[in-house]
Amino acid sequence: MFHRPPSAAAASSSPNLLLPPQKGATSPESHLRSASLVNLPAEENGQAEIEKPPKLQEFSKQSPFGALLSRTLPNYTGPYSVGVRDLEVPIPRQSFGTFRHKRMPHVDAGIVVDTVLFTVFYPCEPQEKPKYVAWFPNRGFIVAAIEHRDGTSPSSTIVAADGATTTLDWIQWSDLDWPELSEQPKDDSVLRREQIKCRVAEIEAVIETMQQISKGEAPNELLKKPDASVWSAWRLVDASRPVLAGHSLGGSAALAVSAKDSYDYRAVVAFDPALQRLLPWESSLPRPILVVNSEEVMEHEFKESFEIFAKTATSDLQVYTISGTTHPSFSDVFLILPDAINKLTGLHCAADVVLERVVRATEEYLSGEGGAGGYVSYDDVLREEEDGADSIEPPAKGKRRHFWRHSSGDQGGKMYKSVGKSAESLA
């Protein structure tokens, strides 16, 4: 996946690219081999050796008052430290949307991009004092996190190597004027569709860059500012079948990119994808898809739109819900906030449990044949009774079930498999 420090599992509306570890492959850093996330055999001296799967994480002792007294994040216990590279790559100038800002009519119309900025997190040899940690690179995955320039971040400041700064602020839909529309939008739907188009272009540019680097093309010929790093080992990275991953609007963008099918995507992993942002939907979803939802989103937005998308999925589709969670629950910010504040946001289970379930589900899913469709551990199956009451009962072969929230007796943090009419036909 592709996220920013300190955690690759942090909630972000940004979609990400995930390059799973390869059998017999080495790390982009010299004298390193790939991590064994899914208990894959690693060749050493001609002998196949099965490694023990690493622990997901080990949480350090924290103050019960959370961030008020301590900002300690978990001590990650994957087998690798994490290296980081920031890359900015020129792309053909593109514009998305025709809007103009009401208070700044002199600026370019729409969202204009001519470069893509992203961060690559990669596994490297454990160090005594690792500078960075991240959930998935810490276990052998190579992750590219995109810094989107579509106006969806509250505020981003990009600092170039020469010290020059560029600030990108949130674009408020009500501040925009769309001259070509006979009637101005009454909400942010039109803007969000253009922002997703922008993200699709950025994602494909990052994939192209990673594939060129992995084929041995000198990165200095690709980058806006030449990088002095040694990149030769990156030719050992297999970037031919990336995984698309993202949260919220990032999940929507990942699905939109996969629908274009421009590359041989291994799978799509979406956390609380904002499906309504893709409506009207007229494409197909040809790649394996894992969806992990919060209870909040599953209960409302997702359930309302899911059937439209499920009918167009032509490969494996698995949907799960973590009970007691809300849309922001995928963020690691809750690891440093007091439990009382977490509960005020609607999070009714331990923050570390949410991230552990997310990491485990992703690893299990990508351990399947061909790198997708693996068995994901879950606690129960959800269904809706005829009278509309909440109900949880064990799976029964051939019995149709629908999405519903966990029962009132559930304390939160359990993983539930969601099986509906459309999803059942794909199981």
| Stretch 343-358: mean pLDDT | 89
- Per-residue pLDDT of 242-267, as tens digits, reads 999 999 999 999 999 999 999 999 99
Residue 173: pLDDT over 90: yes
Are 297 and 265 a contacting pair, CB within 8 Å? no
| Stretch 316-342: mean pLDDT | 90
Amino acid 197: pLDDT = 97
Quote the DSSP letter at residue 225: S
Domains and their CATH numbers in the chain: 15-424 (3.40.50.1820)
Nearest to 12 by CA among 253, 370, 194, 233: 253
Query: What distance in Å separates the CA atoms of residue 362 and residue 17, rounded to the nearest whole number?
Result: 13
Residue that wins the pLDDT comparison between 94 and 68: 94
- Per-residue pLDDT of 187-219, as tens digits, reads 999 999 999 999 999 999 999 999 988 987 767
| Stretch 38-46: mean pLDDT | 33
Average pLDDT, the chain: 77
Quote the DSSP letter at residue 224: S
Amino acid 28: pLDDT = 54
Indicate the pairing of strand 155-159 with strand 289-294.
unpaired
Greatest Cα pair distance, the chain, in angstroms, is 70
Are 31 and 236 a contacting pair, CB within 8 Å? no
Torsional sign, CA 385, 415, 152, 205? negative
Nearest to 129 by CA among 195, 197, 75: 75
Provide, rounded to the nearest whole percent, the portion of the chain with pLDDT above 90: 40
The helix/strand count (H/E) of the chain reads as 7, 17
Position 127 confidence tier, pLDDT thresholds 50, 70, 90: low
The burial of 252, by beta-carbon neighbours within 10 Å (0-12 exposed, 13-18 middle, 19 or more buried), is given as buried
Residue 6: pLDDT over 60: no
Position 185 confidence tier, pLDDT thresholds 50, 70, 90: very high
Residue that wins the pLDDT comparison between 145 and 401: 145
Residue 49: pLDDT over 90: no
Amino acid 35: pLDDT = 28
SS3 of residue 307 by DSSP: helix
DSSP string over 146-188: EE--SS-SSEEEEE-TTS-EEEEE---GGGEE-TT-SS--SSS
Amino acid 75: pLDDT = 65
Mean pLDDT is lowest, of 103-112, 144-153, 205-214, 387-396, for 387-396
Indicate the pairing of strand 317-322 with strand 415-418.
antiparallel
Indicate the pairing of strand 47-50 with strand 155-159.
unpaired
Query: What distance in Å separates the CA atoms of residue 103 and residue 177, rounded to the nearest whole number?
Result: 10
Amino acid 402: pLDDT = 36
Amino acid 87: pLDDT = 87
DSSP string over 321-386: EETT--GGGGSGGGGSS-HHHHHHTT--S-HHHHHHHHHHHHHHHHTSGGGS------SEEEEE-T
| Stretch 309-338: mean pLDDT | 91
Task: Give the gyration radius of the chain's Cα atoms.
Answer: 22
Candidate ranges 191-205, 219-233, 293-307; pick with highest mean pLDDT = 191-205
Mean pLDDT is lowest, of 71-75, 166-170, 290-294, for 71-75
Query: What distance in Å separates the CA atoms of residue 181 and residue 178, rounded to the nearest whole number?
Result: 6
Torsional sign, CA 328, 334, 335, 339? negative
